[in-house]
Chain A
Amino acid sequence: MLCTWYFVLGISTLIQRTKYQALSTNKMNLYKYASPAMFYPLAGKMIPWFAIPAALLFATGLFVGFFIAPTDFQQGDAYRIIFIHVPAAWMGMLLYVLMAIYAGIGWAFNARLSSMMASSLAVTGAMFTAISLVTGAFWGKPTWGIWWVWDARMTSTLILMFLYIGFISLQAAIEDPRRADRAGAVLALVGVINIPIIYFSVQWWQTLHQGATIRILQKPTIRGSMLAALLIMLAACWLYSVAVVLIRLRCIILEREQNAARFAEVGV
C-alpha cells in the first residue's frame, strides 16, 4: 500500500544518510535535498502528483461508498459516516507517529528540514483528529442515542487531540525556531511513548465502567464494497495529507528564510 511505500522510502533515506560519509560527485547526491532551500522546488514539483490523485480517489471512494455499497442491516444508511470517520481517525494517529519520528530525527541529526516537516504534520494531524471526533459524534447519535460516548477509542482520540494541541501550542509559544523544533521533539517523543499507556489505561477504565454505560455497538461486518470504499478513502486521505503537508512545509521554509534574512540585515 501507499503508506508502506512512503514509509520504506523514508527509512531507506534515513539509512542512506547514516551510512553515507563523504559526498561523491559521481552519483546523484540525495543529501542535497536535506537542505530546505534545495527541497523547496522538489516539494513544489511533488505536490500536484499527490493532490490530483487525492481528489480523484476522494471522488471514487465516495462514489463506491454511496452508490455501490449496500445499506447495512443493523445501522441503516447511517453507517456511511465510517467512510470519512475511520480514515480520518487512522490518519490522525499515523500522522502523530510520523510527526514524532521526523521531530526525533530532526533533533538527533540536527536536521532542520526534518523538524519543519514535523511542525507541518502537526496541523494536518490535528485537523484529521478533529474530523474523526466530530464525525464520530455524528455517528454516535443515531447509533447509540447520545452525541458522546466515553468508549476507549473516542476517549483515546480525544487525548490524542490534546497531545496535538500541546505540541502546536508549545511550538507557537517559543520564538527561536531551533529551540521550538527541539522542544517539540521532546514533547512528541514523550507523547508517542505514552500513547500505548494511555490507550491501555483508557480501555481498562472503560471496560470497568461498562455496566453503567451503553453497550458499545460492534462495527458493522465489513463486506466487499464497504471495505473497498474504506480503503480507497484511506488512500485518498493519505495522498491528501502528503500534498497538504508539503504545501505547508514550503510555507514554513519560506517563513524561516525570510525571518533569517531580516535578522541578517539588522545585523543580529
Chain B
Amino acid sequence: MLRWIVWRDLMLAWRRRADMLSTVFVFVIVVSLFPFGIGPETQLLRTIAPGVVWVAALLASMLSLGRLFANDYQDGTLEQLLLTPQPLFLVVLGKTLAHWIIAEVPLVLIAPLVGVQFDLNKETLWILFASLLLGTPVLSLIGSVGAALTLGLRGGGVLISILVLPLYVPALIFGAGAVEASILGMSPAANLYLLGAFAIVSLLFSPFATAAALRISLE
C-alpha cells in the first residue's frame, strides 16, 4: 500500500514536471536575492550563507505544501483513501514521502551549487547537503500537518505559512547551526545529531497528527 501510494504520487508529479521544478527555481531565486539586498562582500555573504540558504529552503518547501493534498482533495481521491481499510497514517506517510522526493530532494541536490555562490568551502558544502538532507524530512512531515488542517480553505497558502513556520524554527536553528559550525571550523556533529533526532520524532508523531487533521477536514 505504501509503495503504491508513493509510486502513484511520483507518477502524477512526473506528468506535471513543471511543478517539481518550480520549487527548485523559487529556492534558487530567493537565495540569489539576498546578495542584492545586502551587498556582494564575500566575507559577509559567507557569514549569512547558512541562514539564508536554510530560510530559502523553508520558504520553498512551504510553497510546495499546498499541493500535497489539494489535488487529491479536489478530484475526490482523498475521500476514497480515507475509506480504505488501510490505516490512514500509512497513506499519509506515503504521500509525505512522495512529497519529500518530489519537492525537497531537488532542493537538497541543488543546495551545494547555491552554496558555491556564497564561497563556502568543500567541507561546508557537504555539511550543508547533510543538514538539508536531515532537515527536509522534518519540513515535509510538520508541513503535512499544516496542509491537512487548511485543506480546502480560502487563502490556504498564506495560512499554511502562518501555522507551520513557527514550528519550523528548531529545525532551522540546528540546520543553519550545523553549517555555521562548519564555517567556523568547529564540529557540526551536535547540531546534526539533534536534527536527526527531530527527524525521527516527527516521523513517529506527525503522520498521526496529519491523519487526524485529514479526518477533521473531510468530516
A173–B213 contact, CB under 8 A?
no
Quick one: given A173-B154, A183-B216, A205-B173, are A190 and B166 in contact (CB under 8 Å)? Answer: no
The interface-forming segment of B32-40, B123-131, B145-153 is B145-153
Nearest neighbor of B210 in chain A, beta-carbon distance: A186
Quick one: given A162-B165, A187-B163, are A197 and B149 in contact (CB under 8 Å)? Answer: no
Check if B219 is an interface residue, CB within 8 A of chain A: yes
Residue numbers in B under 8 Å from A202 (CB-CB):
169, 173
Of B173, B198, B205, B209, the most chain A CB neighbours within 10 A belong to B173
Nearest neighbor of A194 in chain B, beta-carbon distance: B167
Q: How large is the interface on B (under 10, 10 to 19, 20 to 34, 35 or more residues)?
A: 20 to 34
* A155-199 contact mask (Cβ, 8 Å, vs B): 1 or 0: 000010011011001100110000100110011011101100110
Nearest neighbor of B151 in chain A, beta-carbon distance: A183
Check if B85 is an interface residue, CB within 8 A of chain A: no
Check if B212 is an interface residue, CB within 8 A of chain A: yes
Check if A201 is an interface residue, CB within 8 A of chain B: yes
Question: For the complex, what is the distance from the CA of A208 to the CA of B180, rounded to whole Å?
Answer: 11
Check if A204 is an interface residue, CB within 8 A of chain B: yes
Chain B interface mostly helix, strand, loop or mixed? helix
Nearest neighbor of B201 in chain A, beta-carbon distance: A197
* A71-89 contact mask (Cβ, 8 Å, vs B): 1 or 0: 0000000000000000000
A173–B177 contact, CB under 8 A?
no
Check if B159 is an interface residue, CB within 8 A of chain A: yes
* B163-180 contact mask (Cβ, 8 Å, vs A): 1 or 0: 101110110011001000
A163–B166 contact, CB under 8 A?
yes
Nearest neighbor of A173 in chain B, beta-carbon distance: B153
Check if B217 is an interface residue, CB within 8 A of chain A: yes
* B199-219 contact mask (Cβ, 8 Å, vs A): 1 or 0: 000000100010011001101
Quick one: given A166-B163, A173-B159, are A186 and B213 in contact (CB under 8 Å)? Answer: yes
Quick one: given A173-B150, A202-B173, are A162 and B166 in contact (CB under 8 Å)? Answer: yes
Residue numbers in B under 8 Å from A208 (CB-CB):
177
A179–B219 contact, CB under 8 A?
yes
A170–B209 contact, CB under 8 A?
no
Check if B155 is an interface residue, CB within 8 A of chain A: yes
A170–B163 contact, CB under 8 A?
yes
- Residue of B150, B167, B170, B216 near A190 (CB, 8 A) is B167
What's the nearest-Cβ distance from chain A to residue B206, in Å?
8
Residue numbers in A under 8 Å from B219 (CB-CB):
179
Check if B162 is an interface residue, CB within 8 A of chain A: yes
Quick one: given A173-B155, A186-B209, A201-B170, are A162 and B162 in contact (CB under 8 Å)? Answer: yes
Question: For the complex, what is the distance from the CA of A159 to the CA of B166, rounded to whole Å?
Answer: 6
What's the nearest-Cβ distance from chain B to residue A47, in Å?
32
Nearest neighbor of B164 in chain A, beta-carbon distance: A166
Residue numbers in A under 8 Å from B159 (CB-CB):
169-170, 173
Quick one: given A173-B153, A173-B155, A194-B167, are A186 and B177 in contact (CB under 8 Å)? Answer: no
A198–B170 contact, CB under 8 A?
yes
Question: For the complex, what is the distance from the CA of A183 to the CA of B159, rounded to whole Å?
Answer: 13
B173–A201 contact, CB under 8 A?
yes
Quick one: given A190-B209, A198-B170, A201-B169, are A182 and B162 in contact (CB under 8 Å)? Answer: no
Of B150, B163, B205, the most chain A CB neighbours within 10 A belong to B163
Question: For the complex, what is the distance from the CA of A159 to the CA of B150, rounded to whole Å?
Answer: 20
Residue numbers in A under 8 Å from B145 (CB-CB):
186, 190
For the complex of A and B, 4 pairs with smallest distance between CB atoms: A201-B170, A162-B166, A182-B216, A166-B163
Identify 28 residue pairs between A and B in the complex whose beta-carbon atoms are under 8 Å apart, listed by A's number: A159-B166, A159-B169, A162-B166, A163-B166, A169-B163, A170-B163, A173-B154, A179-B216, A179-B219, A183-B149, A186-B145, A187-B163, A189-B209, A190-B167, A193-B205, A194-B167, A194-B170, A197-B170, A197-B198, A201-B169, A201-B173, A201-B174, A202-B169, A202-B173, A204-B173, A205-B173, A205-B177, A208-B177
Since A183-B216, A201-B170, A205-B177 are in contact, a sample of 6 more A-B pairs with Cβ atoms closer than 8 Å, ordered by chain A residue number, is A170-B150, A173-B159, A182-B216, A186-B213, A191-B166, A193-B205
